[in-house]
Amino acid sequence: MPKALERKLKAEAQKKFPGDKERQDKYVYGTLRKTGWVPSTQKHKKHIPGASEHEIIYTHPPSQIIEIPQKSIEVSPKQQE
């Protein structure tokens, strides 16, 4: 997390929402997400542009990667017409 930006946002949130710690936290979290920050719990997922929602690459160490063969689809002559 960008620490300098987080400190700045926390100071700004204290001025905007004095006494409401939960609202301050939501303000900081939401603003960081708008800037493109991603929590560490969600960083292991990467989406490939142009891929469907089911095609997500999980980035793991090479020792944990399991290759899954792709099924080929055969088209019968009747389906081609």
Angstrom distance (rounded) from CA 4 to CA 81: 63
- Residue-level pLDDT at 39: 84
- Residue-level pLDDT at 42: 78
Can you say whether the dihedral through the CA atoms of 39, 41, 42, 44 is positive or negative? positive
- Residue-level pLDDT at 51: 58
Can you give the pTM of this predicted structure? 0.52
Domain ranges of the chain: 3-60
Buried b (16+ CB within 10 A) or exposed e, 20-45: eeeebeebbbebbeeeeeeeeeeeee
* DSSP run (H or E) holding 9: helix 3-16
Angstrom distance (rounded) from CA 45 to CA 74: 31
User: What pLDDT tens digit does each residue of the chain (81 aa) get?
Assistant: 589 999 999 999 999 999 999 999 999 999 999 998 888 877 765 555 665 555 555 555 555 556 666 666 666 666 555
